[in-house]
């Protein structure tokens, strides 16, 4: 790949196409165009992860499945680095759900399945569920609202409107998951859902160096774990 190709990428905003530093797009300094296929993939990934957590026989199975996915994903990353032809093939294959800058960076899905390994290995099922549903539903909702209605800019291209949408949708998604699978008092469900959603929104807002598909589910799960120490019996 040429240095020019690495440093500059095309950015589409509305009907305009122009070149911007790839690093700036990755950091969110330039808004990315809407990708509804990627958003649907986000939701499907969260739903699939939640289903696996419910249907697999135990923690060891979840660790095994997520570890196998992560191993496959990181193997593809290694192959992409070693072979431009492999990189071109995979980017064509993943084109409908990939951001342009992922041609030269670790794919977001790779970071997500890595986060799944950590969730499966170290977090209670309830907190892992909060992490995946917050990411799966709140992140695409925040992107949709932020692009269309975001007026109050915060940092890294994020908007106040998008961040508030993230917190609201994340809280509702987490509350729905908790209500469906965990017979807790309403006050506990609401507190855990809010903690995970707000923490995920903050992670989405500040994640620049690390991919938010990695930081959001882990941060939401950590917040839920800390909150339950104060709310729930040991």
- Identify the domain containing residue 140 by its residue range: 3-231
Name the domain count of the chain.
1
Q: Which helix (H) or strand (E) holds 186?
A: helix 186-206
- Which pLDDT tens digits describe the chain residue by residue (234 residues)? 443 333 334 333 332 333 344 444 444 445 566 778 888 998 999 999 999 999 999 999 999 999 999 999 999 999 999 999 999 998 888 878 887 878 889 999 999 999 999 999 999 999 999 999 999 999 999 999 998 898 888 877 789 999 999 999 999 999 999 999 998 999 999 999 999 999 999 999 988 788 999 999 999 999 999 999 887 554
């Amino acid at each position: 790949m040429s240095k020019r190709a690495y440093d500059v990428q095309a950015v589409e905003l509305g009907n305009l196409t122009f070149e911007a530093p790839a690093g700036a797009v990755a950091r969110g300094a330039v808004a990315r165009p809407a990708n509804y296929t990627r958003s649907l993939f986000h939701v499907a990934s969260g739903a699939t992860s939640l289903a696996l957590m419910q249907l697999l026989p135990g923690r060891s199975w979840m660790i095994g499945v997520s570890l196998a996915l992560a191993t496959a994903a990181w193997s593809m990353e290694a192959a992409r680095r070693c072979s431009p032809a492999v990189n071109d093939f995979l980017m064509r294959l993943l084109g409908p759900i990939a951001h342009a800058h992922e041609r030269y960076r670790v794919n977001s899905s790779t970071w997500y399945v890595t986060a799944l390994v950590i969730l499966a290995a170290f977090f209670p099922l309830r907190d892992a569920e909060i992490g995946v549903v917050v990411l799966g539903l709140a992140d695409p909702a925040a992107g949709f609202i932020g692009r269309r209605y975001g007026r109050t800019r915060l940092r890294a291209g994020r908007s106040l409107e998008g961040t508030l949408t993230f917190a609201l949708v994340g809280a509702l998604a987490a509350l729905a998951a908790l209500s469906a699978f965990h017979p807790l008092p309403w006050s506990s469900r609401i507190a855990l859902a809010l903690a995970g959603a707000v923490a995920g929104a903050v992670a989405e807002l500040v994640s620049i160096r690390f991919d938010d598909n990695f930081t959001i589910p882990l941060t939401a799960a950590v917040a839920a774990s800390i909150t339950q120490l104060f709310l729930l019996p040991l």
